[in-house]
A and B are shown apart, each in its own frame.
Chain A
């Protein structure tokens, strides 16, 4: 085979530049500790990485949403506990005053005052806020959900939060559902419908895009059950005490039980939501860990591999330098002198 000097030199040039470019690539991986530095390094992997980055940003927001919803629900629960204390105390009073043995007009006037205090306490508990938001007002979070007479001023709005990809959870309990044993048959509901029709919001169109934006707060309750309102009941207890109507007082007992049962059921609903949220937070955390592992396996350079590759490539480079010394040096002319 003929070997020309040019091909000799180009072999040297090629092998040196190949080694150099491999070394440079390895050096890049070594300094960034990433094997994926541009999309073309691994097009499919880089698409995956982008997906996982979005997931991470979303998960962080989902987690913070979940924590927010949890604290909101826990605050609601604390308010409900207060309300149930009020109801228990009212029931105790009603039991105490329902039999003539322990009830005299003097004691009744004394406890009537206590019932008044309980009424005031229930109003202020119902108007409790977190920051500047009233927790029981539904969407009407800027004004008192309950007025001084115990009339509900909020609406039925339930604030849904996304706490996982397309996992939604209600972060509030509209007061109307706490204060009435059968909200749909309540006076509050009638008033609410009345106010609604005054404002006439345009909710006529519901495309698939907006299913979420539609009203999901309807609850199925049998309409034939008569409604009991918490504030009305306290009022009627007080009236009963003031007028000495023991039958009326006795009549409140059962209804206080119904109200208590209602509060308990709402609290257990909150409890299960909080549990769901906590489960979700754990899932999110686990998801983040899995994602981190996966993305690390796609984009992180294996340091041991890189370092050993570098050492190998370096020795190849050195040996091709050394061999090129021999390849280039002698020509016939060197031996003719």
Chain B
């Protein structure tokens, strides 16, 4: 065996140790990098060589760095992506459900519930003394407070809807940017892998990006033979195919009643020319949450508010129109009602006659009967009458059910959110167990490779001394 081989073996030891040290250094440096998977330098023994001629024993030729391995569990990454998607969905939903809940928060005692009961009770009070100017003023006052609160609720819900549209727009843009970056990364990884170097860190970055994309919408991810990943939005179609990406169009559109969205809200289409909207196919993730809250929760709440405003104003009007005022006038409307229930909560107002004079409140069922309170009584009694929901509920119950429904969906979502958070933290821990960096471990590796490095150096030194010995024989 040639002595020079010993040099080679020493040298190979030095370089594998150095690779180990630099990998440990890389790991420590990235200990807190998001989505980083720890790496490990994998070395193998160099192919052995026959020593001492034909038939002699084989001796090792040192070691060789075969590759730098990325320690990562793909299945765990997939679970983590799913978890992220669910978490992002429930988190985003909670933000807006909380906002809706704040609009309807009656727990401090001020809200439509109180104003509606005040409205009916002021009519009840008016029935004790229909002639009384100051009670009439109070009736008008409480009616206008009720009307104003209907409008306040409706416009606050409208604001939430606008906010949702802005968020959908922003998220959609962010999603497209991610798709573009992913397509580029796909290309880089393919090129790197063709050149033979496993693109560990690029793959980590791609995993982070996939996780981010999953947080927007429900996507399915497949790997192709070239090591590139394809991303499909479930129910919609491909977004990223290898190095190419799809750009969705987003713009204002007409009302889509089958999706539950109103006039002029943002819709997603495959292209600017298409009028076939695919908005409702975006499920889960942040986008799914936003679209669901906008087209289901907000729309439903506003529709119910409109119905309530419409039912109260038309029921009161129906009775009021049949009554007589102090001056014997009849056929006067109490509320201004024009058009159907849609948008009623925003349009509801007192009629011009009532605004002109409280004398126009019709309390009597017959003309010139100053103490006739039967009409006032009939209006007050509407509070007990089941005139909502096809005669199943009273106005009070109907409103209270809006509030408690909001409460139910908010608290249920909050439970799901807590659950998702703990799932994510559990999965995160599992991922950390596999791919996370332990400083203790890396320090140990560092020491181990340092010692190996020292030892390899010693091998070279020994070989050098041996060479010296041989060279000095001829002296």
B131 touches A142 (CB 8 A): yes
In the complex with contacts A39-B101, A53-B109, A199-B366, A4-B374 CB distance below 8 A: no
Chain B residues, Cβ within 8 Å of A58: 117, 120-121, 124, 383
Interface centre among A6, A46, A60, A162 (most CB of B within 10 A): A6
A40 touches B411 (CB 8 A): yes
**CB of A265, distance to nearest CB on chain B (Å):** 24
In the complex, what residue of chain B is closest to A137 when comparing beta carbons? B371
In the complex with contacts A38-B407, A57-B114, A199-B367, A141-B131 CB distance below 8 A: yes
Contact of B128 among A34, A65, A205 (CB under 8 A): A65
Chain B residues, Cβ within 8 Å of A37: 107
**CB of A6, distance to nearest CB on chain B (Å):** 5
Chain A residues, Cβ within 8 Å of B440: 331-332
Q: Mark A10-51, 1 if CB is under 8 A from B, else 0.
A: 110010000000000000000000101111111110110111
In the complex with contacts A39-B104, A50-B113, A213-B365 CB distance below 8 A: yes
Chain A residues, Cβ within 8 Å of B400: 47, 50-51
Of B185-193, B204-212, B349-357, B428-436, the one touching chain A: B428-436
**CB of A57, distance to nearest CB on chain B (Å):** 4
In the complex, what residue of chain B is closest to A69 when comparing beta carbons? B128
Interface flag for B50 (CB, 8 Å): no
Chain B residues, Cβ within 8 Å of A3: 432-433, 438
Chain A residues, Cβ within 8 Å of B369: 138-140, 155, 157
Q: Mark A194-218, 1 if CB is under 8 A from B, else 0.
A: 0000010111010001101110000
A40 touches B403 (CB 8 A): no
In the complex, what residue of chain B is closest to A4 when comparing beta carbons? B436
Interface flag for A61 (CB, 8 Å): yes
B387 touches A209 (CB 8 A): yes
Contact of B368 among A41, A50, A199, A332 (CB under 8 A): A199
Give the contacts of B78-137 with A (CB-CB under 8 A): 97, 101-102, 104-107, 109, 113-114, 116-118, 120-121, 124-125, 127-129, 131
In the complex with contacts A58-B117, A139-B372, A161-B31 CB distance below 8 A: no
B371 touches A141 (CB 8 A): yes
B411 touches A2 (CB 8 A): no
A38 touches B107 (CB 8 A): yes
In the complex with contacts A7-B433, A50-B400, A57-B121, A209-B319 CB distance below 8 A: yes
In the complex with contacts A65-B125, A162-B127, A209-B315, A39-B406 CB distance below 8 A: yes
In the complex with contacts A44-B404, A49-B107, A210-B441 CB distance below 8 A: no
Interface flag for A147 (CB, 8 Å): no
CA of A147 to CA of B164, assembled, Å: 71
In the complex with contacts A38-B105, A54-B117, A68-B128, A5-B378 CB distance below 8 A: no
**CB of B295, distance to nearest CB on chain A (Å):** 21
In the complex with contacts A2-B436, A7-B432, A138-B371, A161-B410 CB distance below 8 A: no
A139 touches B370 (CB 8 A): yes
Interface flag for A165 (CB, 8 Å): yes
**CB of A176, distance to nearest CB on chain B (Å):** 14
CA of A44 to CA of B411, assembled, Å: 11
**CB of B316, distance to nearest CB on chain A (Å):** 11
**CB of B388, distance to nearest CB on chain A (Å):** 13
Contact of B365 among A140, A171, A201 (CB under 8 A): A201
| Pair count A-B, CB < 8 A | 227
B31 touches A39 (CB 8 A): no
Give the contacts of A159-173 with B (CB-CB under 8 A): 159-162, 165-166, 168, 171-172
Contact count band on B: 35 or more
**CB of A201, distance to nearest CB on chain B (Å):** 4
B404 touches A201 (CB 8 A): no
Interface flag for A1 (CB, 8 Å): yes
Interface flag for A148 (CB, 8 Å): no
Interface flag for A333 (CB, 8 Å): yes
CA of A50 to CA of B115, assembled, Å: 12
Chain B residues, Cβ within 8 Å of A210: 319, 322, 378
**CB of A290, distance to nearest CB on chain B (Å):** 19
**CB of B375, distance to nearest CB on chain A (Å):** 6
CA of A265 to CA of B94, assembled, Å: 67
Interface flag for A258 (CB, 8 Å): no
Give the contacts of A98-146 with B (CB-CB under 8 A): 132-133, 137-142
Contact of B439 among A14, A165, A333 (CB under 8 A): A333
CA of A49 to CA of B131, assembled, Å: 35
Interface flag for A299 (CB, 8 Å): yes
B403 touches A212 (CB 8 A): no
Chain A residues, Cβ within 8 Å of B371: 133, 137-142, 157, 159, 172
Contact of A203 among B366, B381, B397, B401 (CB under 8 A): B366
Chain B residues, Cβ within 8 Å of A57: 114, 117-118, 121
A51 touches B324 (CB 8 A): no
Interface flag for B49 (CB, 8 Å): no
CA of A318 to CA of B422, assembled, Å: 22
**CB of A171, distance to nearest CB on chain B (Å):** 8
Chain B residues, Cβ within 8 Å of A205: 322
- Interface residue total, chain A, C-beta cutoff 8 A: 70
Interface flag for B330 (CB, 8 Å): yes
In the complex with contacts A47-B404, A53-B113, A65-B128, A40-B366 CB distance below 8 A: no
In the complex, what residue of chain B is closest to A203 when comparing beta carbons? B365
Chain A residues, Cβ within 8 Å of B105: 38-39
**CB of B198, distance to nearest CB on chain A (Å):** 22
In the complex, what residue of chain A is closest to B120 when comparing beta carbons? A58
Interface flag for A336 (CB, 8 Å): yes
In the complex with contacts A4-B432, A157-B369, A201-B383 CB distance below 8 A: no
Contact of A161 among B127, B433, B437 (CB under 8 A): B127
B406 touches A5 (CB 8 A): no
In the complex with contacts A38-B407, A50-B403, A212-B381, A5-B113 CB distance below 8 A: no
**CB of B32, distance to nearest CB on chain A (Å):** 6
In the complex, what residue of chain A is closest to B385 when comparing beta carbons? A209
B437 touches A159 (CB 8 A): no
Interface flag for B264 (CB, 8 Å): no
Interface flag for A64 (CB, 8 Å): yes
B378 touches A213 (CB 8 A): yes
Chain B residues, Cβ within 8 Å of A202: 322, 330
CA of A47 to CA of B411, assembled, Å: 14
CA of A209 to CA of B408, assembled, Å: 33
In the complex, what residue of chain B is closest to A36 when comparing beta carbons? B107
CA of A60 to CA of B322, assembled, Å: 29
Q: A6-B437, A141-B370, A212-B374 are in contact. List 8 more A-B contacts (CB 8 A).
A: A38-B407, A39-B406, A50-B396, A58-B120, A65-B124, A155-B369, A209-B318, A213-B319
3 closest residue pairs by CB, A with B:
A4-B436, A39-B407, A43-B407
28 contacts between A and B (CB under 8 A): A4-B432, A4-B436, A5-B438, A5-B439, A7-B429, A10-B432, A14-B425, A42-B411, A43-B407, A46-B403, A47-B404, A53-B113, A53-B117, A58-B120, A65-B127, A139-B366, A159-B127, A160-B127, A161-B127, A161-B373, A162-B124, A165-B384, A203-B366, A209-B387, A331-B439, A331-B443, A333-B443, A336-B447
